[in-house]
Amino acid sequence: MMRFCLERLSQLIIVILFVSTATFLLVRFAPGDPAHILLAKNNVPVSQEALRHVRQELGLTDSLWEQYIKWIKGVFTGQWGVSFSSKEPVITELLTRLPATLELAGAGFIVMVSLTFFIAIGTTVYTAKWVNAWGKMLALFGASIPGFWLGFLLIYVFSVRYGWLPSMGHGTILHLILPAITLGGGVGAIYARVLRSNMLEMMKQPFVKASKARGMSQREIMTSQLLKHAFSPILAIFGTNFAFMLGGSVIVETVFSWPGLGKYVIESIGRRDYPVIQGYVILTSFIFVSIHIVVDIVNRWLDPRLRIY
C-alpha cells in the first residue's frame, strides 16, 4: 500500500507539472491584452506609455521563458502570484471562495447519491410495472436534459412562478436547494440506470440463490450482499463526478450567482487575469487527482483482489 501511495503521489506531481505548463501557454496565447482591459476598466486613457507601465507592473514585459520559470517555481512553493485586478494573492482569493464551492459540490453530491439509490433500489425491489415505468422515465429525463436548462427551468417554476425558493445568492439552505438539484440531479439519474443494471445482473448470481436457500430475506440480501457488489463498480465514478462538481460547477454558479470558484474564474477570464486563471486550474487539478487517489485506495480496501496488482 505504501508503494501504491508513492506511485500515485508521483503521478500527482507529473499531472500538476503538465497542467501548469499547458495552462501557462494557453492563457498567454489567448487573444486580449490584460493591460488594455485593466486600463479601460479603471477609465484610464489607453496610451502606449500607460500600456508599457501597466505591463511592466504586471510582469508581462519579461520574456516568456522568464515568466514560465517564475510560475513553475511558484506552483510548488504556493506562490501563485497576485491578481491583476484585486492586487491580492491568488491563493488567498481562491481559498476564500473555495468553501462556497465545496458547499455546493457537497450538496450536489448528496442529491446525486440519493437519487441514484432511490431510483435504482426502488425499481429493483418493487417490480410493479408503474414503479419501473416512472423510475425509467425519471432516469431518462435526468440523463437527457442539459444542466443549464434544468437550472433555468427550476428558477422559473420555483422562483418566478410560485416564489417558493430564491433564485440566486448564498446564505441559507433555501439558496442551496435549486443549485444542488441542478448540479446533481441529472448525473444521479444517469448512475441510477447503471446501478440498477448492476443489481439486476447480481440477482442472477449463484450467491444470491444460495442466500435465499439459507432463509435470508430479500432486504438482508439487498443490504449485506447485493448492494455492496453492485455499488463497487460505480464507486470510482462517484468520486470522479464529485471532482467534476468541484471544478465543473462554473455554469451552475453563474446561473444562480453563487459566490464560488466557478463564478470568480468566469469573471477573471473576462478580465484576462492570468494568475487567477492559472491558479484556479492548478487548484482544481490538485483536488481532482487527489480525489482519484482516495477513490483508488478505498477500492483496494473494499476489493482485496486489487491488492495483488
pLDDT at residue 129 in the model: 65
Provide the CB-side half-sphere exposure for 198 (13 A, CA). Answer: 21
pLDDT at residue 15 in the model: 83
pLDDT at residue 19 in the model: 85
Q: Write out the three cell numbers for 250.
A: 462554473
Q: Which residues of the chain are modeled with pLDDT < 70?
A: 1, 4, 42, 44, 124-132, 135, 139, 142-143, 217-236, 247-248, 299, 301-309
pLDDT at residue 101 in the model: 87
pLDDT at residue 283 in the model: 85
From residue 80, alpha-carbon distances to 24, 101, 182, 205 in Å are 12, 20, 32, 53
From residue 278, alpha-carbon distances to 66, 112, 173, 285 in Å are 16, 29, 31, 11
pLDDT at residue 307 in the model: 56
Residue carrying C-alpha cell 408503474: 130
CA of residue 133 relative to chain centroid, distance: 31
**C-beta of residue 264 within 8 angstroms of C-beta of residue 255:** no
pLDDT at residue 67 in the model: 84
CA–CA distance, 152 with 83 (Å, rounded to integer): 32
From residue 143, alpha-carbon distances to 123, 180, 213, 302 in Å are 17, 16, 38, 29
pLDDT at residue 268 in the model: 84
β partners of residue 89: 82
pLDDT at residue 299 in the model: 67
Residue carrying C-alpha cell 463526478: 241
DSSP annotation of 204 reads T
The one-letter amino acid code at 248 reads: G
CA of residue 224 relative to chain centroid, distance: 31
Report the interhelical angle of 227-247 vs 274-302 (nearest 10°): 170
What are the residues whose beta carbons fall under 8 Å from the beta carbon of 217, sequence distance 6 or more? none
